[in-house]
Amino acid sequence: MQKTGLYWLGNDLRRHDNHCLLAASKAVEHLLIVFCVEPQWLSMGRYQQTRMAQHRRRFLTQSLYQLKKQLAEEGQQLLVFAGDPLEILPKVIDQYQVSHVFRSLHPAFDEQQQWQLLHSSVDALSTTGRIEWHELDNLSLINQSDMRRLTGLDNLQPQKNSLTTDFIPSFSKFRRMVESAIKKQVFTIDTPSCASIPLPKPVALSPSNYAQLTKYWVDDIEHALGITSVECINRDADNIHVNAHNTNQACHEWLNTTVTSTNDEQAGFFGGESSARDHLKRYFSDERAHQYKHVRNALGGWENSTKFSPWLANGCLSARQVIDALHKFEQKSERSDSSYWIFFELLWREYFFWYAFYHQQALFRFSGIHRRRPLTSFYPERFRSWADGSTPYPLVNACMKQLNQTGYMSNRGRQLVASCLVNEMKLDWRYGAAYFEAQLIDYDVATNWGNWQYLAGVGADPRSTDQGGRHFDLKKQQQRFDPKGVFVREWLGKGASIEHSDSAIDHIDATGWPIQ
Ligand SMILES: Cc1cc2nc3c(=O)[nH]c(=O)nc-3n(C[C@H](O)[C@H](O)[C@H](O)COP(=O)(O)OP(=O)(O)OC[C@H]3O[C@@H](n4cnc5c(N)ncnc54)[C@H](O)[C@@H]3O)c2cc1C
């Protein structure tokens, strides 16, 4: 009997250096490549916020289109379904007698749960015999077995009696551990795998033979993701075109203004693997990496940091591909403190990946991994002003406007607005994290919630144990990073002041009376 595989895509929307595609290509003759648009992404989530706002959905849509096109060129097919994967995938597995299921190892609690539930429910119902389940290292730099060896932990997930302190307590310790292992050559980061093996054939699908699945089938990805027509442009490196049914005037106008936009964040971030590969190539084609460490903290400016994050978060690019490009750059143009710092920052990403994998639900807990409850709460008016960018702090407002308009914010900006939410506004950090989750085009569950915990003093920051979270002095930060107010005025308008306004944070008191 022929072997049929199912590859359930997630944050791994790429053809190259994709361990799942490689493994499937070796194991099966036919392959279904499936992406599920989950209804919960578009509905109200926890903390009274939608899980995925427009910018994130747009980037995801673009990424799916590029993958669809790439797969079609190789005779394969991207199948997009809208609905709960736990409802859809068992039907697909049953209908097509799937013998192998592939998925990238995801670190976070919900995704782990989904995988385990799918596994157990399908196995319980299976009449066709044993299915092979493959959850593969595909999103991180370090794989599970190396991580076990490096940490000495037999199990990288919490056990009944395990302690928070069983996992590497700080980033510094993690970094030293990884760097020393690389130096002693007990561990190497894999080079990216190439896409030379042809993909297995798709399974013949026609509307008549998938009666059970028609109601989930999605032809129109942007419609499924609630994207308005002018935003669903499909662009690749040298061939810009608009989806057939959207060739209206407005769409062309938008395309022209976007591509020539002076707003780098909008012009440069375009979802998909070919855009990611172009950007990676361009970044290392000049000497930018030698300046990185000195400019990475800037609040604005396309060139000041790598801007790899949205493509990494959606898996259009792998961290291994970035490291490989970095090493090639260093071989050609020497290694500098700055170029090394790109690796350093990618280790932060890696740390939070394994941190999320280890701590599971505790990643989202108000009291964090140490079970220490911060003295903050939820005040709707304060939260609204923070999210809208109408606090008394111009620097925070400018960063929030940038986020709301583009779906991106610099690392320094994220630190400042998070510190403001926790320390000035005294708000529950999880509302801030959930707001970022909805807005950021580079939203990554481990990195986002891990960084928020860190800033709120309930995470992996060794300083937080006895001194609370990180509190940035907003006036000093303004002086240091935007003394002339260029960034503030870019987002708040020409006449904006950089001085903190006298207006109070609250306009009503605890009983609902207006404050004079
Ligand atoms: C409160 C808060 C929330 C954040 N949420 C996210 C998120 O959801 N997704 C996300 O990708 N990054 C997040 N970051 C980390 C960081 O701000 C972004 O990765 C970075 O700004 C992206 O821009 P860049 O690619 O130009 O970064 P660069 O400075 O060029 O860094 C290169 C890469 O290193 C990694 N990196 C850099 N800084 C960090 C960091 N602090 N933690 C982990 N990895 C890092 C990213 O993968 C990044 O693409 C968050 C930071 C804070 C303070």
- The CA 499 to ligand 1 mean position distance, Å, reads 28
Task: Kindly list the distances between the CA atom of residue 259 and the CA atoms of 252, 269, 280, in Å, as whole numbers in the listed order.
Answer: 11, 10, 18
- Give the model's confidence band at 233: pLDDT under 50 very low, under 70 low, under 90 confident, else very high: very low
Nearest protein Cα to ligand 1, atom 49: 309
Least confident segment among 77-91, 228-242, 277-291 = 228-242
The predicted-structure confidence for 457-468, as pLDDT tens digits, reads as follows: 999 877 765 556
Closest atom, ligand 1, to C-alpha of 410: 21
- Give the model's confidence band at 263: pLDDT under 50 very low, under 70 low, under 90 confident, else very high: very low
Tell whether the torsion through CA atoms of 454, 489, 59 and 314 is positive or negative. negative
pLDDT on residue 112: 95
pLDDT on residue 210: 66
Closest atom, ligand 1, to C-alpha of 352: 43
- The CA 336 to ligand 1 mean position distance, Å, reads 21
More confident residue, 249 or 192: 192
Nearest protein Cα to ligand 1, atom 16: 411
Closest atom, ligand 1, to C-alpha of 452: 1
Nearest protein Cα to ligand 1, atom 38: 345
Greatest mean pLDDT among 148-162, 200-214, 433-447: 433-447
More confident residue, 263 or 197: 197
pLDDT on residue 21: 96
Read off the pLDDT of each residue in 404-432 and give the average, rounded to a whole number.
Answer: 96
Share of the chain above pLDDT 90, in %: 69
For residues 178 and 142, the answer to whether their CB atoms sit within 8 Å is yes
Read off the pLDDT of each residue in 253-271 and give the average, rounded to a whole number.
Answer: 51
3-state SS class at 198: coil
- The CA 442 to ligand 1 mean position distance, Å, reads 8
Examine the pLDDT at 250 and tell me if it is beyond 70: no
Containing 447, the helix (H) or strand (E) segment is: helix 445-456
Q: Which residues contact 117 (CB under 8 A, 6 or more apart)?
A: 86
- The CA 445 to ligand 1 mean position distance, Å, reads 12
Greatest mean pLDDT among 124-128, 242-246, 277-281, 371-375: 277-281
Nearest protein Cα to ligand 1, atom 12: 447
- The CA 291 to ligand 1 mean position distance, Å, reads 18
Nearest protein Cα to ligand 1, atom 4: 448
Examine the pLDDT at 81 and tell me if it is beyond 50: yes
Nearest protein Cα to ligand 1, atom 6: 448
- The CA 514 to ligand 1 mean position distance, Å, reads 40
For residues 80 and 109, the answer to whether their CB atoms sit within 8 Å is no
pLDDT on residue 239: 39
Nearest protein Cα to ligand 1, atom 50: 448
- The CA 309 to ligand 1 mean position distance, Å, reads 6
Examine the pLDDT at 238 and tell me if it is beyond 80: no
Closest atom, ligand 1, to C-alpha of 448: 5
Closest atom, ligand 1, to C-alpha of 432: 1
3-state SS class at 104: strand
Examine the pLDDT at 4 and tell me if it is beyond 60: yes
3-state SS class at 5: strand
Closest atom, ligand 1, to C-alpha of 345: 34
pLDDT on residue 466: 54
- The CA 312 to ligand 1 mean position distance, Å, reads 10
Strand-pair partners of 103:
135
**What CATH architecture does domain 368-492 belong to?**
Orthogonal Bundle (1.10)
Q: How far apart are CA 81 and CA 217, in angstroms?
A: 5
The predicted-structure confidence for 58-75, as pLDDT tens digits, reads as follows: 999 999 999 999 999 999
Strand-pair partners of 100:
5, 132
Domain locations along the chain: 368-492
Q: How far apart are CA 420 and CA 91, in angstroms?
A: 47
Containing 79, the helix (H) or strand (E) segment is: strand 78-82
Closest atom, ligand 1, to C-alpha of 346: 34
Nearest protein Cα to ligand 1, atom 5: 448
Return the DSSP state at 121. Answer: H
- The CA 399 to ligand 1 mean position distance, Å, reads 15
pLDDT on residue 246: 38
Residues with CB under 6 A from ligand 1: 296, 305-309, 312-313, 342, 345-346, 348-349, 352, 410-411, 414-415, 418, 436, 440, 442-444, 447-448, 451-452, 455
- The CA 42 to ligand 1 mean position distance, Å, reads 24
More confident residue, 218 or 149: 149
Q: How far apart are CA 178 and CA 156, in angstroms?
A: 16
Q: Which residues contact 149 (CB under 8 A, 6 or more apart)?
A: 186, 187
Q: Classify residue 185 as left (phi > 0), alpha (psi -120 to 50) or beta.
A: left
- The CA 184 to ligand 1 mean position distance, Å, reads 28
Pairing of strands 132-136, 100-104: parallel
- The CA 141 to ligand 1 mean position distance, Å, reads 16
